[in-house]
Amino acid sequence: MADAAPPSKSRDLDKLLLRPGNLVGPTFDPGVQLRDDLQEYARVLVVGAGGLGCELLKDLALSGFKNLEVIDMDRIEVTNLNRQFLFRLEDVGKPKAEVAAKRVMERVSGVNIVPHFCRIEDKDIEFYNDFNIIALGLDSIEARSYINAVACSFLEYDSDDNPREETMKPMVDGGTEGFKGHARVIVPGVTPCFECTIWLFPPQVKFPLCTLAETPRNAAHCIEYAHLIKWDEVHSGQAFDPDNPDHMKWVYDEAVKRAELFGIPGVTYSLTQGVVKNIIPAIASTNAIISAACTLETLKIASGCSKTLSNYLTYNGVEGLHTKVTEFVKDKDCLVCGPGVLIELDTTVTLKKFIDMLEEDPKVLMTKASITYHGKNLYMQAPPVLEEMTRSNLELPLYDLMDKIPKDVLHATGTINKDDKKSSGLRKLRVVFKGIDGVADMDMAGGA
């Protein structure tokens, strides 16, 4: 029987955490201790402090999570205020993460939120390992891929290539687009990771330049003409900055002229921002619904109070309301959440040679790679002070730098070239040294 508990401000939460049930997880142990442990020990990182991120911070704080951190690189703009409810007019220009953390702590007593105003790539990989769960409120495929790769890099496999449960870093991912949204649970090694189902995200629409230059048919064509063609003609050598209001105003004015010339209506300043920045219209109610689903899944993972989502929920509120859950299957050959890319080396290969090999390996295709081994920086491309400190390792054999261990896992962070597109990424590499006693020869092209 559940422990007797004093009255709590979280009355509804107590109904989940203090009582047994028929749909609970196998490790669920209801009682006051569970509620107290959740508040004291569970650490959750919220990635993104925009429309969805604001909702996530608020919901998590009200759901018993007292140790939260949030990371976001953006500053508050006037256009954010219609849906990112934690921000006020006087906050425009301030970092989103810092203001969001401050506002939630003002309204929810006892919660501690640490903000990080920086790029997600600026944090060391071990920073992400300090959290029990990572909740994503992002609007970028590239950012999702990066965090997914980081979380999957902590996953370890046993000798039979079975994932070790204690190394799994759960993620809860949410996304919204107008009246549509999704929430998903990612448990590396068990459920599909983001990369396993990358095909769910359609490629961005790109307009043919000939259409933009000769036969524009809608307002977006006029805006992209001013952005991609006219800007370079007039401002030769000056890069366009989408965050510069003067640059954006210039594109808007040129787009209006173009639209008037071809009799095309609909060019507005807000549409210009949306097209140039690839901004997807956001609706506050959709953010609230998806955040609620993500927060509930985070609570399930942390407490075991119910079985988690299996594993992808979609919401559509365009006409009425439609929601469904689809169980996608993990890709056993995934290069990100699998055991890692196998690379076979001679013991004489230097770290510099190894980094050069990563550019040519068809399963890696990584340039400007930084290499870490069990949290130790073997070579860092940046910042300059770390590059100088680790530069001397480049001429040393990788075998020696890995303490002469015949086979182990490295992590490489750098620029991945895939489908003529460059993005920041992380890869887990299974390095096996040839000719060492107890290590059988392996096929270089062998599995990931």
Q: Which residues are catalytic?
A: 210
**What is the rounded distance in angstroms from the CA atom of residue 131 to the CA atom of residue 169?**
8
SS3 category, 95: strand
Scored b (16 or more CB within 10 A) or e, 294-322 reads bbbbbbbbbbbbbebbebbbebbbeeeee
Residue 29: what residue type?
Answer: D
Which residues face 345 on adjacent strands? 433
Segments in 304-429 forming alpha helices (H): 351-360, 384-390, 398-401
Residue listed under structure tokens 């060019």: 267
Q: How far apart are CA 334 and CA 311, in angstroms?
A: 17
Separation of alpha carbons 330 and 141, rounded Å: 19
Q: How far apart are CA 302 and CA 98, in angstroms?
A: 25
H/E stretch holding 376? strand 376-379
DSSP string, 244-282: -HHHHHHHHHHHHHHHHHHT-----HHHHHHHHTTPPPB
b/e 121-146 (16+ beta carbons within 10 angstroms → b):
eeeebeebeebbbbbbbbbeeebbbb
Q: Give bridge partners of residue 71 from the DSSP assignment.
A: 47, 116
Task: Give the three-state DSSP class for 77.
Answer: coil
